[in-house]
Structure 1
Amino acid sequence: MVRRMLTMLAAALLVPALAPPAHAAVQGEVYVALGDSAASGPLVPNQVVPDLGCWRSDHNYAHLTARAIGAGTFRDVTCSGADTGDMYASQGTDLGSVPPQLNALSQDTTLVTVQIGANDVGLTGFIEDCLNLLPPPVGDACNDDYIENGQDTWRLKTDALRPTLVALAADIRARAPQARVFMVGYATYAPQNGCYPRVPIIRSDANYIRATLMYFNRMLAEQAAAAGIGFIDLQTPSTGHDPCTSPGVRWIEPYVPAAPAAPFHPNALGMRNFATIVTAAVSAV
């Protein structure tokens, strides 16, 4: 994913909260943030050390949430390119490997957010495949590429991820038995009908991306409920702040970013708003 993100950047230079049983956030929380690039904030100022290969911002939603709730201890191990396997095993990045994310958990952890799964099903490649600089009939739609034998392969991969997420939630709770755990969903990456050519994804493909991401977020919410953890919806509040909207309004940058952020990833404004949403969810009484 990181290499694909760098390729896209090079091209540019020439993506209501539900909570578990009520517990008010308290001063002194031991907060651990897990996740992929949607959580880490690649290119959002300022990128932090160590683990520069993770493209992690000190203004991602987890950092801002930690400050808002007055966390006593905060460990952010989110990393661009991470999938569920990287929760358990070392992850290779362009600048070296990083430890398994679950290693950041401890018996005294009191709060965990986890945003993961998009790389398991190939979200970045999916959106990239649908970029189309020329409209039909010259350019081809991408949505039919994901139909095999009458079945949507993207949804099949999404469904196959369900037991993995339930098992991950159980493993988080086993390592952090005192923690309130929240699964975080993904934002809105495409509005109804898209906005071709402003974002070069044609109408049918924009609608396909929208529908499949809605399905993916529903799956995340369902698996969070099945695992008995909270779910934080970013899709609904980010509607109207997608890559088709204007700079200063959008929370997710388009293929050619106008703000420091990776293509189809949250910008600083998005991270601030996501932090408000996450803070409200984890602080719910």
Structure 2
Amino acid sequence: MKIKILGCYAATPRTITNPTSQVLEIKNHMFLIDCGEGTQVQLRKHKIKFSRIEHIFISHLHGDHFFGLIGLISTFMLLGREKDLHIYGPKGIKEAILLLLKLGNAYTSYGLYFHELKATASEVVFEDDKVKVSTIPLQHRVYTNGFLFEEKVTERPLNINAILNYDIDKVYYNKIKQGGAITLENGQQIPNDLLTFEPSAPKSYAFCSDTMYSEKIVPLLTNTTVLYHESTFLENEIDLAEKTMHSTAKQAAKIAKLAAVKHLLLGHYSTRYGDIELFKKEAQEIFDNVLLADDGLEFEF
């Protein structure tokens, strides 16, 4: 599981920082999460193939989280894209994007599908045989969702060296991968654990930006491998966090501790701060395993 941070700063783009956007690679999927202004430039800068992006998840309709979307959609069209593109975001995102395309007489040549969200409880928005994606209802100034990406339990890897010790036809390999025992022609039963290895534990990634502090989300995050939680302010400016419905680094750490996540990844920093290490220092007073997002960084788990 890899997380590439394209941008992780709040409010406005600057020459040295970018607004929220990141790429999650999980089980052969490449998901784009939020699409702030400048996202396509960052994708090019970090040599991420546009064609691999088939699903885009937008948390809310504040500009620093989706103003880059129309440009990316248009560039896909100019590049001759043929693959379908699915966009998951708040109700209204379809109207906003299609209006701009209509005014520019620039409809896409590829399938563009909008999955508009309006539920106030968690719901599954994407699922296949490898990954499930659910919403995390957040509390912000406008309707906002985080997203929980969960790997599904994989098949058991075959222990080929062990299998070759027995007269087992290849037609039974799928049964073995799925956990089944094998009975040989002489009646001997071979337990599955002698023929396979333990699969790796499924990993999960929770994206929570933007939101005020709320313990309501904790049950959805319990035991998550990595939690990305916004930390727009430091605790000495908690009044600003409450006024703008954002969180502090200390509050993000409290959520991580309550949910017993393995790693806390901080981001969405206000540009009023010159040193983001202050966020890590504050969070580690509550939760030990803290990582700092920054533009261009990649994390692998």
Using the size of structure 1 for normalisation, the TM-score is: 0.34
More contact order relative to length (CA 8 Å, sep ≥ 6): 1
Higher helix share: 1
Larger radius of gyration: 2
Higher strand share: 2
